[in-house]
A = this chain, B = another copy of it.
Amino acid sequence: MAGNSFGQLFKVTTFGESHGPALGAVVDGCPPGLELSEEDIQQALDRRKPGTNRYTTARREADQVEILSGVFEGKTTGTPIGLLIRNTDQRSQDYSDIKDSFRPGHADYTYQHKYGVRDYRGGGRSSARETAMRVAAGAIASKLLEQQGVRIIAGLTQMGNIKIEQVDWSTVRDNPLFCPDVDAVAPMQELIKQLLKDGDSVGARIRVEASGLPPGWGEPVFDRLDADLAKALMSINAAKAVSLGAGFDAVAQRGSEHRDEMTASGFCSNHAGGVLGGISSGQTVTADIAFKPTSSISLSGQTINRFGDEQAIVTKGRHDPCVGIRAVPIVEAMTALVLVDHWLRQRAQNADVKHSTPVITR
């Protein structure tokens, strides 16, 4: 059934295949009066754009977004915002090698079984190209959140076995790897070169942080802020794990260590990752996401075709040795979509809540 929408009050619906005529999105529920231009969205798209640097896929797409509705005289009107990106670089490639074959690690086999038919060109709907529209919608969400004092930032904290030492957000936007540790950039670039030489790929770990949220966002018991974040982040192509705060490290912690004690000047630690009982605590929301290594590599792999015959396959085309790099702006976008939705939900039900409990400093 319909599974291409995200959000309840700020609802994003995307459509489009990798090699079809266009990608698009509808953002329904954006409050009126927000100043919004195509340039606002384009900036976010450009960060994700393939071909931006030599470390990501060589496919060159203009990714020029067009706003089709919902904005009038430079401001949102409260009506749905239609967004469109034409696909321009669909090379008349020969897809006969994957038309009937299932590339290992890809969704070819599962799409075939689910639908009985699939647009095999470049992975069709299962391509990460779809995430361009998430970034576009996320740019609108981010603008709204900024007005609420919320800031979202993500970065690459691990590539293969290279883990960064320390997160320093100040430099994360200055390097092509979105890495928040300048010392790790050079070794990571070395690794990429090696992977390109090997025809192989590697996984990545991304950290995202959202600061400036007031306490109170998130809807127990199912639509918790952390649960919705988990879904949003796990819905990104190639994601294999999501954790909040201490994450899997919490398993070995004692309760006396993990519980974040409180003083009048703030929480003493943030093992929770900014969410308690599914509701934001006002601390920085912190999540980590694991991305698997790119499945499209030039090393031959064993597979079957759609008639059940075994065969070897090499994925041709232009691909990233580490998809995780380009996932950084997508992680930010999905985080923004979750937060803006919960901001509106909180406002709907609890707009009148007034009480004297002080908000402690983070």
Contact = CB atoms under 8 A, between A and B. Distances in A.
B301 A261 contact: yes
Given A3-B221, A348-B348, A353 B116 contact: yes
A234 B242 contact: yes
Given A21-B66, A26-B15, A105-B276, A292 B258 contact: yes
Instruction: Point out which of A26, A200, A355 has the most chain B C-beta atoms below 10 A from its C-beta.
Output: A26
Interface string A326-362: 0000000000000000001111111111111111100
Contacts of A253: 202-203, 292-293
Contacts of A111: 277, 279
A68 B17 CA distance: 9
Contact of A231 (B126, B230, B249): B230
A68 B294 contact: no
A205 interface: yes
Contacts of A217: 114
A98 to B, nearest CB: 13
Contacts of A226: 234, 239
Contacts of A125: 69, 77, 79, 220-221
A117 interface: yes
Contacts of A260: 104-105
Contacts of A304: 262-264, 360
A184 interface: no
A130 to B, nearest CB: 6
A82 interface: yes
Contacts of A24: 24, 26, 68-69, 82, 84
A158 interface: yes
A357 B273 contact: no
Contacts of A296: 255
A13 B13 CA distance: 8
Interface stretch (A41-49, A172-180, A306-314): A306-314
- Identical copies of this chain, number: 4
A79 B33 contact: no
Interface in A11-54: 11, 13-17, 20-24, 26, 28-29, 31-33
A117 B293 contact: no
B117 A248 contact: no
A310 to B, nearest CB: 5
A220 B15 contact: no
A247 B304 CA distance: 25
A212 interface: no
A259 interface: yes
A59 interface: no
Contact of A252 (B110, B112, B160, B294): B160
A28 B4 contact: yes
A353 to B, nearest CB: 4
B1 A8 contact: yes
Contacts of A306: 356-357
26 contacts: A2-B10, A4-B222, A5-B11, A6-B222, A15-B81, A17-B79, A21-B66, A24-B84, A29-B349, A77-B124, A78-B117, A79-B125, A109-B262, A113-B215, A117-B355, A203-B253, A205-B251, A241-B243, A243-B248, A250-B293, A251-B290, A251-B291, A253-B292, A259-B295, A262-B302, A307-B356
Question: 10 shortest A-B CB distances, which residue pairs?
Answer: A107-B277, A3-B219, A105-B259, A3-B223, A241-B243, A201-B255, A348-B348, A231-B231, A110-B279, A113-B215
